[in-house]
Amino acid sequence: MGKPQLSVNDLEYVADMLRAIAWVKTDLSPASAEALHELEECLGAAESALRRVAAEMSTAAPAGQKSN
């Protein structure tokens, strides 16, 4: 069995899930405000990086063909 490959859609899905977690972070009580702030920053950075990689993968695909 070959090595599984992530597609642009996979990366965008994970980025969407990270955004959803950041959106409902107040539901994560009794976590401290400091921990929630750190979580929000880290999730935002991870989401941004995933979207950038997905965008670069999309533009690297040959014309008329979506990357994986």
Q: Tell me the per-residue pLDDT of 16-32, one tens digit each, with 9 for 90 and over.
A: 999 998 888 778 888 89
Any idea where the domains of the chain sit in the sequence?
Answer: 30-60
Closest CA to 49 of 4, 14, 23: 14
Please list, in sequence order, all residues whose beta carbon lies within 8 angstroms of the beta carbon of residue 68, skipping any fewer than 6 positions away.
Answer: 5, 6, 7, 8, 10, 57
pTM: 0.75
In this model, does residue 13 exceed pLDDT 60? Answer: yes
Going by pLDDT thresholds of 50, 70 and 90, the confidence category of residue 51 is very high
- Whole-number Å distance between alpha carbons of 66 and 41: 31
